[in-house]
């Protein structure tokens, strides 16, 4: 069974751990949300699942209970030690735990070129760097269920023409389509965060596009000065100038347009000019 609030507090006292705000440690204490995460991810026996920041292991145990092989990464030494002497002993063949930073190791110790899913409670501070790191790997997960602050989730799924639309929106939506998720109250965590969260449920698109590193870098640069017009932003860069010329000729794009106004499919054309 998932840990409730009293069990969570007891276990934290036992290991001498105070939740660390610097690591975004807000422990999930609502068993219904744990079960919802596993259900949304459609975890089946034998599935490989990557988990970021397993913490006290409440979600991890549910994933293992569903028959998954879990590859997890935990930065906190005390929590890593707890998991090593509990879940790693109980599930030696199916629980693989790495101590380290998920930004440096987005997929923990997952073997290369194997199908997998991601189920994770992502701290706000690393959510976007972790997601960008994910796109350096191929293949991408077939499905992801990510516990995120609502602000981060909406940024990933923002539509062109809105203030939240940016580089990460393009990267995510080029590869994934949003599926029905679940709102999560701040009261489901200890300590209680200041904002609500949600389970963002993403399924890999049949026509998923993994943009190359040069293309992702170019897009990030364009959005760093998002209030500037495309003509000014692309000036002096041969690849960007060629892309903009094509947009003007084929899509009737006004060179004075700002980056956040461009539809997703126009950004996909940039890849052809970055080769």
Bond from prior residue into 139 cis (ω within 30 degrees of 0): yes
CATH of domain 213-273: 1.10.8
- Quote the pLDDT of residue 125: 86
Backbone CA torsion sign across 214, 220, 225, 231: positive
Second CATH level (architecture) for the domain 5-204: 3-Layer(aba) Sandwich (3.40)
213-273 shares the fold of 5-204: no
- Quote the pLDDT of residue 274: 87
Question: Taking each helix axis from N to C terminus, what angle separates 238-251 and 213-224, rounded to the nearest 10 degrees?
Answer: 80
Q: CA 51, CA 107: separation in Å to the nearest integer? A: 8
Residue 261 has a CB neighbour count (10 Å cut-off) of: 15
Q: What is the pLDDT along the chain (275 residues), one digit of tens a residue?
A: 788 999 999 998 999 988 887 777 889 999 999 999 999 999 999 999 999 999 999 999 999 999 999 999 999 999 999 999 999 999 999 999 999 999 999 999 999 999 999 999 998 889 999 999 999 888 999 999 999 999 999 999 999 999 999 999 999 999 999 999 999 999 999 988 888 999 999 999 999 999 999 999 999 999 999 889 999 999 999 999 999 999 999 999 999 999 999 999 999 999 999 87
- Quote the pLDDT of residue 177: 97
Backbone CA torsion sign across 52, 99, 67, 55: negative
Residue 81 has a CB neighbour count (10 Å cut-off) of: 13
Q: Where are the domains of the chain?
A: 5-204, 213-273
Cα–Cα distance list, 91 to 80, 154, 265 (Å)? 15, 36, 45
């Amino acid at each position: 069974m998932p840990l409730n609030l009293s069990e969570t507090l007891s276990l934290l006292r036992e290991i001498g751990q105070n939740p660390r705000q610097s690591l975004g440690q807000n422990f999930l204490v609502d068993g219904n949300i744990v079960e919802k995460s596993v259900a949304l991810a459609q975890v089946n026996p034998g599935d490989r699942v990557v988990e970021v920041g397993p913490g006290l292991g409440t979600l991890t145990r549910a994933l293992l209970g569903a028959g998954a092989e879990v590859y997890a990464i935990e930065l906190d030494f005390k929590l890593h030690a707890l998991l090593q002497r509990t879940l790693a002993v109980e599930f030696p063949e199916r629980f693989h735990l790495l101590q380290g930073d998920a930004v440096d190791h987005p997929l923990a110790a997952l073997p290369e070129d194997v199908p997998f899913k991601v189920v994770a409670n992502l701290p706000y501070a690393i959510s976007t760097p972790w997601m960008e790191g994910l796109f350096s790997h191929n293949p991408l997960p077939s499905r992801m269920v990510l516990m995120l602050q609502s602000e981060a989730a909406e940024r990933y799924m923002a539509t062109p023409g809105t203030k939240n639309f940016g580089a990460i929106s393009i990267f995510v939506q080029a590869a994934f389509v949003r599926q029905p998720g679940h709102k999560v109250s701040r009261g489901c965590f200890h300590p209680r965060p200041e904002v609500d969260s949600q389970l963002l449920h993403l399924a890999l698109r049949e026509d998923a596009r993994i943009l190359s590193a040069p293309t992702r870098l170019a897009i990030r640069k364009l959005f760093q000065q998002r209030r500037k017009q495309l003509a000014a932003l692309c000036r002096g860069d041969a690849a960007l100038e060629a892309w903009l010329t094509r947009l003007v000729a084929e899509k009737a794009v006004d060179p004075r347009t700002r980056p956040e106004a461009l539809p997703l499919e126009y950004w996909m054309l940039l890849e052809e000019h970055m080769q």
